[in-house]
Amino acid sequence: MKTLQKPVPPGGTIGIIGGGQLGRMLALAAARLGLKTCIYNDTADAPAFQVTQQTIAAPYDDLAQLGAFADACDAVTFEFENLPAHAIAHLAEHVPVRPGTHALAMTQDRLTEKSFIEKLGLKTASFFEVSSPAQARDAFGKLNGKGILKTRRFGYDGKGQAKVSNVEEAIKALESFKGAPAILEGFVDFSYEASVVAARGADGAFAAYDPPENEHEHHILRRSTVPSRLTPAQVEEAKAIARTIGDALDYVGVFAVELFVGSEGALLVNEIAPRVHNSGHWTIEACACSQFEQHIRAVAGWPLGDPRRHADAVMENIIGAEADAWETLAGSGALHLYGKKEARPGRKMGHLTRLKPLTRR
Ligand code: AMP
């Protein structure tokens, strides 16, 4: 078993599980710090494979390949959370995995995650376990109005979710999940959505970015804007929420807390993403240390970088065929394209960040 008493020095190798755009931007940030990366992905056409020294293409539960991966790396992280827990546990026996298996397990299941958030004394939507039609009936009865039924595991970008307005719809939605256990959440009539992207170092140091305001279209993030409409007191509250969560998980690395901002100004936690986050992409241009560099620093045991924002920013995702307009986009901001061959509808192909002079923090 390798341990990490000291930081991974320049020339060392950080392992990244998942070769999508997040893995790609993590690898680019690592390269800037003189660190190498080895990327593990379940297919050979991963966008991140284009920018890394070493690659492994194998299923995520292939223990032999995970062993070889552990041998090649000084520390390992991941860019998406829907990984088989037993595979990560196996990996963690051979090489430091940051964030650890505890943080991953806690955030992989919506019921465990929401219960954890509630125990910390933080606000969240009301929620009920729903594994059977009888539970769906019971849970809907306890809701005061509409709800959202969500599968407990493996949901992203609105997948495994259904808005329900009556008991019959709740039961039908549960059936459409084909036996997958679910939770029913009360529908939050929020004013807008925001998020905090924050980091915790191996020594417990904490750094949070200014929370952006996030707009979604068809369940996919369209735009993140900083500064948001949050008041300075709400910004501090949002960062304090992230700190409470990071400390409770003994977290190492970057994570995001997605928030609903209620009409009265209350901040409700929607979910925790145990990884770098789409709503933090603007930090590449608008902060001295981006979320990607910050994550690599934390995973490698380096001091955290400065998260302060030196510009206002708007980040927009480039989705599907929108990437065909790359020449126009290239002329209108900081363009990032992820090297994906096929522009399928709903696929994140890149993003564009526009900066403006700093108005306020
Ligand atoms: P999630 O997969 O939980 O991040 O949900 C995706 C999106 O669905 C959120 O960003 C919200 O726009 C919406 N949403 C999720 N949960 C709720 C809720 N309880 N009330 C209202 N809208 C929700």
Residue 152 CA to ligand 1 centre (angstroms) = 13
Instruction: State if residue 270 touches ligand 1 by the CB under 6 angstroms criterion.
Output: yes
User: Distance (Å, rounded) from C-alpha 340 to C-alpha 118?
Assistant: 39
Helix or strand or coil: residue 101?
A: helix
More confidently predicted of 159 and 262: 262
Pairing type for strands 161-164 and 267-273 reads: unpaired
* Sequence letter at residue 31: A
CB 337 within 8 A of CB 352: no
Among residues 69, 62, 65, 68, which one has the least CA distance to residue 86? Answer: 62
- Given a cut of 70, whether residue 157 has pLDDT beyond it is no
pLDDT tens-digit series, residues 198-230: 999 999 999 999 999 999 999 999 999 999 999
Pick 360 or 98 by higher pLDDT.
98
Q: 157 in ligand 1 pocket by Cβ < 6 Å?
A: no
pLDDT band at residue 83 under the 50/70/90 scheme: confident
Helix then strand count (H, E) for the chain reads 11, 17
* Closest-lying ligand 1 atom to the alpha carbon of residue 214: 10
User: Within 10 Å of residue 343's Cβ, how many Cβ atoms?
Assistant: 15
In the predicted model, what is the mean pLDDT of residues 152-171? Answer: 86
Residue 277 main-chain phi, psi, to 5 deg:
-135, 145
Q: Is 93 exposed, middle or buried (0-12, 13-18, 19+ CB in 10 A)?
A: exposed
Is the overall model pTM greater than 0.85, yes or no?
A: yes
| Cα–Cα–Cα angle for 297, 50, 95, rounded to 5 degrees | 40
pLDDT of amino acid 14: 98
Of residues 5 and 301, the one with the higher pLDDT is 301
Each residue of 322-350: pLDDT tens digit?
Answer: 999 999 999 999 999 999 999 999 999 99
Picking from 74, 121, 116, the residue whose alpha carbon sits closest to that of residue 95 is: 74
What is the pLDDT of the chain when averaged over all its residues?
95
**Does residue 258's CB lie within 6 angstroms of at least one atom of ligand 1?**
yes
Listed in sequence order, the residues at least 6 apart from 196 whose beta carbon sits closer than 8 Å to its beta carbon are 208, 209, 211, 238, 239, 241, 242, 256, 257, 259
Residues 144-152 have a mean pLDDT of: 93
Instruction: With CA atoms as reference, report the closest residue to 23 among 65, 80, 84, 86.
Output: 80
What spacing in Å lies between the alpha carbon of 270 and ligand 1's midpoint? 7
Q: Is the Cβ atom of 148 under 6 angstroms away from ligand 1?
A: yes
Q: pLDDT confidence of 360, banded at 50, 70, 90?
A: confident
* Residue 21 Cα to ligand 1 middle (Å): 23
Can you tell me which atom of ligand 1 is nearest the CA of 157? 2
CB atoms within 10 A of CB 344: 10
Encode pLDDT of 89-98 as tens digits: 899 999 999 9
